[in-house]
Structure formats: C-alpha cells, structure tokens
Amino acid sequence: MSPRRLPLADKALIQIIDAALADTAQKSGEWLACRPGCTQCCVGVFAINALDAARLQAGLAEMEKSDAARAARIRERARASRGRLTAGFPGNLRTGVLDESDEAEERFAEFGNEEVCPVLDPETGLCGLYDARPMTCRTFGPPVQSEGGLGVCELCYHGATDEEIAACEMVVDADDLESELVRKVEKTGGPRGRTIVAWALMKARG
C-alpha cells in the first residue's frame, strides 16, 4: 500500500480519543488491566483503514530519521509477517487491500489469528510505533460499543457487574471525525479500502 500524507486534523482526532480513554481509565480504576508489556491485543490480524495506514507510515518514516536501525527491524518484521500471511490472504496481495465480499469477511475472521503484530518489539513487549498506532489499538480494552454490543478485553473488568461496566463506557469519536479523515486520505490517490498492519508498513511494489 503506497504511503499517503497524514491529515493535520489527525492530531485532533488522537486528542479526542486520548481524552476519552483517560476519562474511562479514571472511572475504571483497577478494572482496566491494560499495562505496558501486556500484549493480549497484539496477537491476531485485524483490519485497519487508510487513515490508520497513513499514520503508521508517517510514524515509521519519522523513526527512520531518528533511529534507522529500529525502523529497519520493524520493516523486516513486517516483511516476514507478510510472507507468512500471503497464503490465504483474503484480498489483493500487491496492494494489501482486503476484499469486501461476505465470503472474504468470513475468511478474514479465521485468518492470521496467531500472527503477532510486526510493530510489537519482541524484546520489550512494547509497541514500537505507539504514538502512531491504529484506532483499534487505542480503543481495545475499555467498554466500547460495536455491532455486537458493549465489548471489553477478556483480561479487564473482572468482578465488575454489567452496570458497572456500562458506567465505564468509552465514547469513541462521537462526531465521527475519523470517517471524514479516512475519506480525505482516500482522495489522495492509491487503492481504497482496508488493509492490515504488515502491508501498511511495506512500500507498495509495482
């Protein structure tokens, strides 16, 4: 997937999400078990949008200026991950864009569930591009509404009642700024659609 320019308004979006997370964390206390070194959400392939991809690419580009060796290790892990995931990839292998058919969605549900995110540093257990991480990573753990209802990480909210969990709900991007920014990114050219982290971190091949 070709690198794209990250909209300036992405900083505002991140501030909104960070503020919502801080509010939820304060309400949750010890129920929110997310801590540095916990990698529960770093295992298993998940879809990211064009804005997430642009943010990751921008983050990696910045790292290449300040710590080229570390950036090279991330890119190498992404290359290795992409190699492992090529077989059965439910999308375009060159661009990394996922198919949107019902059949492809079903295949994706069973795809790469044991694959470790290439951004995860195996030595520290920390995210190598934490400030540039996708939105899914920023909202995983706290109670967040989705099509399936209010969901939380299985490691969190042990001992809390349904009412107590609901009281800690994280309201994510109420004005839907993210969708607006995704459209802006997609208008800059290149393939439209969702991809995965391993492809986002690799420069497109002709």
In a domain, 52, yes or no: yes
In a domain, 176, yes or no: yes
In a domain, 206, yes or no: no
Q: For residue 149, what pLDDT is reported?
A: 86
Q: For residue 124, what pLDDT is reported?
A: 93
**What mean pLDDT is reported for the chain?**
92
Tens digit of each residue's pLDDT (9 = 90 or more) over 145-187: 988 889 899 999 999 999 999 999 999 988 999 999 999 999 9
Distance, CA of 18 to CA of 132 (rounded, Å): 13
Higher pLDDT pick, 4 / 177:
177
Asked if residue 100 has pLDDT above 80, the reply is: yes
In a domain, 3, yes or no: no
Residue 189 φ then ψ, to 5°: 105, 170
Strand ranges (E), 19-117: none
Asked if residue 204 has pLDDT above 80, the reply is: no
Asked if residue 7 has pLDDT above 90, the reply is: yes
In a domain, 171, yes or no: yes
What's the total number of domains in the chain?
1
Please choose, from the candidates 19, 1, 16, 57, the residue with its C-alpha nearest in 3D space to the C-alpha of residue 174: 16
In a domain, 25, yes or no: yes
In a domain, 1, yes or no: no
Q: What is the mean pLDDT of residues 127-152?
A: 93
Q: What is the mean pLDDT of residues 73-77?
A: 96
SS3 category, 154: coil
In a domain, 188, yes or no: yes
Distance, CA of 172 to CA of 144 (rounded, Å): 7
Asked if residue 206 has pLDDT above 50, the reply is: no
Q: What is the mean pLDDT of residues 24-37?
A: 93
Model-wide pTM > 0.75? yes
Q: For residue 191, what pLDDT is reported?
A: 78
Q: For residue 42, what pLDDT is reported?
A: 95
C-beta of residue 174 within 8 angstroms of C-beta of residue 149: no
Residue span of the structural domain in which 187 resides: 10-200
Q: For residue 59, what pLDDT is reported?
A: 96
